[in-house]
Structure 1
Amino acid sequence: MHDIRAIREAPEAFDAALVRRGHAPMSSEILALDEARRAKILASETAQADQNRASKEVGAAKTAGDEEKFNELRSLVAEKKAEIARLTDEAKAQDAALTDLLMGLPNLPYDDVPDGADEDDNVELHRRGTPPDFGFTPLEHFDIPAVKPGMDFETAAKLSGSRFVLLSGAMARLHRALGQFMLDVHTTENGLTETITPVLVNEAMMYGTGQLPKFGEESYKTTTGQWLIPTAEVPLTNIPNGMTIEESYLPCRYVALTQCFRSEAGSAGRDTAGMLRQHQFEKCEMVSITHPDASDDEQQRMLKCAEGILDRLGLAYRTVVLCTGDMGFGARRTYDIEVWLPGQDKYREISSVSTCGDFQARRMNARFKPADGGKPQFVHTLNGSGLAVGRTLIAVLENGQREDGSVLLPQTLHPYMGGKTRIAPDGTLM
């Protein structure tokens, strides 16, 4: 959420940043509502002072035996009490309207974020690795002979509907191996704290990270009013929700391997074949809670953590910085890592690493107490995929495919696969 004081101090800058994100200027509407709210509060405080003064005079009039004055003052007290109640209710309503308005506005991009309308305007930073030269036309993951026995979309559709998958045998083991490999690297080498979180969260937690109120249709709400998490960003980022922590505790670095659930509203017809876009998937999520002065460096560190997984797997990828029109709602700057998928003959997103500044912290009221004893400040929050397990599975399968229909596994996964190095064309591990 945005700082109303910052909008009051620099409304033109606020509007200019919104326009960069393709949003209409909003400062006039925000400040008009803010001014009306503050006027109601001032009027309520004035009425309260009048009531207090009249209440003191009531006793004096009663003692003096001035019945007319006594009745007049008693009526004034009752009148002011009713006025205060009305003004307070009106101020609360305007405060709620202002909060709703601010809650629905996206975060403001950093100055170094490139301007643009969509993914075509993203800026490539670098490429790592070389896409394999097969000497034959590579297949998409779901058409590779070694994959077909263990990747069942028809049974999953019978069980749950479209955009689900049932993995078995070598596919299930490879999927599990990838998740465990990611966790091991992030915890033993990258210094993240492994965390097991609930996959159901209260509505306030979805507001805290920005999934609500604007994007409720993209997630699943239960009949109990709880929400299935779209990513572990939600529970991990909300750990300091409503807290003021000591500066010495920062940074807090978490990683969680969880099931994630997305309705994929608005994505009809996109990537319907295979595992690329599913309603249920597994992701290794990284979240950092930092001091504001450290958040830029922390984003670079998290980016290297995610890229390092792909380096270990020997997969070619490119890293881009998203333009203003392609960033997520809560981000101030986002780096996307796109892995090479031979079956599609293109790079596809496998990780997003975003810094949100204090945008989420304000929604969560998450602060830290400076070591020098100064006034509590909002923390900065960051999140990133490290990585999406299903998409990593796709990349391993497509890049490891061989002309005979088998799949060669990355060497770094061999210990996680019981020493097996290949999936045979019939789907068995070799």
Structure 2
Amino acid sequence: MKTVLVNGMVFMPDGEFMQTNVVIADGKILSIGNDVPADAEFIDVSGKLVAPGFIDVHVHLREPGFTHKETIASGSMAAASGGFTQICAMPNTKPVIDNAAVLTDFYATVKRDAVVKVHGYAAITDSLTSEELVDFAALKAAGAFAFTNDGVGVQTADVMYRAMQQAASLDMAVVAHCEDNSLIYGGAVHQGEVSERLGVNGIPSICESVQIARDVLLAEAADCHYHVCHVSTKESVRVIRDAKRAGIRVSAEVTPHHLLLSEDEVVAADTHFKMNPPLRSRADQIALIEGLLDGTIDCIATDHAPHHRDEKVQPITKAPFGIIGLEHTFSLLYSELVGNGICSLEQLLDWLSYKPAALFGMSGGKLAPGQPADIAVIDLDATETIAEPFYSLSANSPFIGWETQGLVEQTFVDGKKVFDRKSGVGIEH
């Protein structure tokens, strides 16, 4: 059976919008145009944006080991509701995904429970320490998307260099959470005005930027694709920009919360505003936006990091870092960035779909014949106030109460509808 999305505003690979039809067959886009088969199911999407399904290269699904926070089922449903059709799950689970057996078990759960495509990262080192390297070849064979110790920085240059050499030999990327442990100082927020006002230790910007500066030179020496997670400081943007100008294979992501918030929004010890890296200064926020606009930063990734509400009601010095992000990324960025003329809709769609696919050699990311039918249908005029309940098991978001515009109505993965807002629930896969 063929499916035809009729009369939508289709975002084409050339960056233009065309009012036309999308024909889906056997999980792929068969054609885009006004000629449609008669023997098809027709879905009227008149007046709606038809976009490539979004790709998030940085999420935490918490399974195995922390299913009170999130599961592969709930996290992938949250992704589908936000228009994401591919997500990449970090390995800081319990057990850590640092060997082929654990990764194989992870993919078995994905096959059973996920409603979107889920790619699993593997750790760089055993148990996320900065000591023994994992078996890179075995993990690649088991389906590792890339290698990362997200949640902690790799503390020694020797370990990172050897990791990059092994990854490069396998044509794999090293994806880095950049944080020098000797410069954390037990901080809970950015070191600045807010840390002083709250009377808590702060995390200085150099905690992040000095590791990036080290790593870009190691990446150059190893000829490795080095990707920087959740960039948060103006110094980091400068280092990455200089590295790109030098021809080093570095790419970077930025989160919606670092684009839309700064430490100025942290008016109290509210743990919904506690994330790692922390919200930085307004000057850092401006530098991140500028870096995204000029291509220094390549894509947007949510760093979706759910925590049980009992964990987040602890004092700010004890509560875990992290916020959820999958469900409202598009509407928040469309409202705040596109709506305020900071970027175009075309740029936003590229940062959420085409750019991450191109960076990591993934299928999808654009709508064209032969491509997977991974599609988000969006009502750009629809509005909502962000509020519970969420599809995620957790609700740790600083954006609760924000008014947004541009809501995902339907999400298709390989041509199968996995989310329909009008029904109020996900479609059983």
TM-score computed with the length of structure 2 as normaliser: 0.24
Report which of the two structures shows the higher radius of gyration computed on alpha carbons.
Answer: 1
Query: Hey, which of these two has a bigger chunk of helix by percent?
Result: 1
User: What TM-score comes out, normalization by structure 1 length?
Assistant: 0.24
